[in-house]
């Protein structure tokens, strides 16, 4: 489960950075990585955006259990 937590957190960070860049500099990081301009989409970017959205949903719905898993490890308990 912790691997899923880390992957989801990384995707949420990518999404947050993308939105920050879009808001401040009008740059779409995901589109730029795949050689497209701001607002352009392809099958690959749609998958990335979908995974980012699902990761945010996962983080929101499982926040308390994620905290228990990770805090248990910090205090010597097995999660």
Q: Is residue 65 part of a domain?
A: yes
In angstroms, what CA-CA distances link 61 with 56, 73, 76?
9, 21, 25
Taking only the tens place, the pLDDT of each residue in 32-54 is 999 999 989 999 999 999 999 99
Predicted confidence at residue 58, as pLDDT, reads 93
DSSP-derived letter for residue 29 is H
8 and 62 Cβ atoms separated by less than 8 Å: no
Q: Is residue 38 part of a domain?
A: yes
pLDDT range class, residue 74, cuts 50, 70, 90: low
9: which 2 tokens? 């957190």
pTM across the whole model: 0.75
* Domain count across the chain: 1
For residues 79 and 55, give the distance between their C-alpha atoms in angstroms, rounded to a whole number. Answer: 21
Q: Is residue 79 part of a domain?
A: no
């Amino acid at each position: 489960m912790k691997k899923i937590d880390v992957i989801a957190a990384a995707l949420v960070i990518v999404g947050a950075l993308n939105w920050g860049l879009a808001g401040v500099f009008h740059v779409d990081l995901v589109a730029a990585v795949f050689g497209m301009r701001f607002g352009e989409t392809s099958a690959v970017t749609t998958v990335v955006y979908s995974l980012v959205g699902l990761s945010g949903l996962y983080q929101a719905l499982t926040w308390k259990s994620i905290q228990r898993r990770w805090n248990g490890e910090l205090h010597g308990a097995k999660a």
